[in-house]
A and B are shown apart, each in its own frame.
Chain A
Amino acid sequence: KQEVTQIPAALSVPEGENLVLNCSFTDSAIYNLQWFRQDPGKGLTSLLLIQSSQREQTSGRLNASLDKSSGRSTLYIAASQPGDSATYLCAVDAGGTSYGKLTFGQGTILTVHP
């Protein structure tokens, strides 16, 4: 059974710092991996999706990498801002007969203070 772990559980940084969030998964046979952002009491916002054949994806100040063989993904946030404060979740899709069935990590709570 796929298990997804996110480290650290919480992170507090000063504004302007570059930071890395980590996601690891136990079964490397994945179809894709998706990173989400969740603000308190809200739904999830999709940030980046990486297919299993890709090594990284970029969107603005965000860069997500994928190392399928080692079961790891990282989300890099450049020049962090207070508006980046949120919970960040990663989720993996095993594909095959389970297309769309995402397994989520527990998230990293990020606080960026001015």
Chain B
Amino acid sequence: DGGITQSPKYLFRKEGQNVTLSCEQNLNHDAMYWYRQDPGQGLRLIYYSQIVNDFQKGDIAEGYSVSREKKESFPLTVTSAQKNPTAFYLCASSISPVYNEQFFGPGTRLTVL
């Protein structure tokens, strides 16, 4: 089955720890995106990558980092510098930046203890 997978589904982090969220796609899509969703708010873009080995900051990149070493994978690291990391994180991909109907994974819910 083609699609986007995210793991883990639930993640708990102690304050001061870095954690990495996984996002994998087997759709052969060039572009990938990370969003954050808070209760009662729309999605906000954290980082996006238009092609392998390239990525750009979105609207709320502070306290996050990404890498794009493989076309299929776009992991997101939530660092200790992110002041309010508790949220629902969603990964998406599209064929390309131009043909950009976005398809989403099931999400990871991160809770800071």
Contacts and interface: CB of A to CB of B under 8 A. Distances in A.
Given A34-B101, A106-B40, A101 B106 contact: no
Contacts, number: 59
A91 B101 CA distance: 11
B43 A104 contact: yes
Interface residues of B, number: 27
B105 interface: yes
Interface of B is mostly: strand
B45 A102 contact: yes
Interface residues of A, number: 22
Interface stretch (B12-20, B69-77, B78-86, B92-100): B92-100
A101 B42 contact: no
A100 B31 contact: yes
9 contacts: A34-B101, A41-B107, A43-B106, A43-B107, A99-B98, A100-B50, A104-B42, A105-B42, A107-B42
